[in-house]
C-alpha cells in the first residue's frame, strides 16, 4: 500500500447532520490544499443513512423511532450508533487513482487493524450482477464487521467506514443492511469477547498512518 500519512481528528458522539456539515467544509479545504489528508474518527447517535438506490422495503420499521437520513455517499442502508467507530476520510486521490481504488486500500487497512485486534478478516469480490460487497467480513464466521461507503468530488474523497466495536447490534436486524437481506452484522466484541473503543481507536489510526 502507498505511504499516505493522515492528520487524525478525534471526537466522541457527533450528530450526523453536524458531522456532514463539518465534513463538507474539510473537503472544500482539501480541494484548495488548505488542509492535509485527514482521518476523522467519531461515533454518531442512532441513525440509519441510505443511498439513493435504497429500496423502500429495505427501510426500518418506524416504530423503532430511529431517524432515517438520505446521504450522498455510495452504497445502500447503513446503521450508525454508539459503540461504532466511524472514520471519515478526506483524501486527495493521486493522478489516475479512482475512488474504487482507494476503497480497496481502505478495506485492506481495516483488515490489518482487525488482525492486530486478533480477528482474521477479509474483503470480498462482487459476483457479476450482484449487490456490491464493499466492506470487510470476518474470516472465521463469515459475518460483516465493517461497512464502507465513499464518494469523490474534484479528486477528494469523503464519507468512509463504520466499524462495529461494542455497540448494540439489534438495530441492524430491523432493516436490510447494505442491500444484503441475509447479511449477519457483527462487532469486535461479538467476535473476540473483548474490544473497547479505547483499544480499537489507536489501532485503526495506526493502520491508516494517522497521527495527531
Nearest to 71 by CA among 149, 3, 132, 165: 149
Cβ contacts of 152 within 8 Å, gap of 6 or more: 93, 98, 99, 102, 158
Residues belonging to the active site: 178
Name the burial class of residue 13, with classes exposed (0-12), middle (13-18) and buried (19+) by CB atoms within 10 angstroms of its CB. Answer: exposed
CB–CB of 159/71 below 8 Å? yes
Q: With both helix axes pointing from N to C terminus, report the angle between 197-207 and 99-116 in degrees, rounded to the nearest 10.
A: 130
Alpha-carbon distances of 11 from 33, 37, 86, 107, rounded to whole Å: 23, 17, 10, 22
Amino acid at each position: 500500500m502507498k505511504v499516505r500519512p493522515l492528520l487524525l481528528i478525534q471526537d466522541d458522539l457527533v450528530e450526523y447532520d453536524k458531522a456532514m456539515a463539518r465534513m463538507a467544509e474539510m473537503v472544500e479545504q482539501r480541494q484548495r490544499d488548505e488542509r492535509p489528508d485527514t482521518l476523522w474518527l467519531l461515533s454518531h447517535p442512532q441513525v440509519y443513512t441510505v443511498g439513493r438506490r435504497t429500496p423502500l422495503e429495505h427501510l426500518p420499521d418506524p416504530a423503532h423511532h430511529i431517524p432515517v437520513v438520505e446521504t450522498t455517499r455510495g452504497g445502500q442502508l447503513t446503521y450508525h450508533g454508539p459503540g461504532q467507530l466511524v472514520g471519515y476520510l478526506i483524501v486527495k486521490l493521486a493522478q489516475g487513482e479512482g475512488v474504487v481504488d482507494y476503497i480497496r486500500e481502505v478495506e485492506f487497512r481495516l483488515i490489518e487493524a482487525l488482525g492486530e485486534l486478533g480477528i482474521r478478516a477479509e474483503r470480498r469480490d462482487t459476483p457479476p450482477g450482484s449487490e456490491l460487497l464493499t466492506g470487510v467480513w470476518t474470516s472465521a464466521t463469515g459475518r460483516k464487521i465493517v461497512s464502507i461507503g465513499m464518494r469523490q468530488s474534484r479528486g477528494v474523497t469523503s464519507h468512509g467506514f463504520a466499524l462495529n466495536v461494542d455497540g448494540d447490534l439489534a438495530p441492524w436486524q430491523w432493516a436490510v443492511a447494505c442491500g444484503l437481506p441475509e447479511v449477519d452484522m457483527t462487532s469486535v466484541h461479538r467476535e473476540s469477547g473483548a474490544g473497547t473503543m479505547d483499544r480499537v481507536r489507536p489501532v485503526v489510526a495506526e493502520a491508516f498512518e494517522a497521527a495527531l
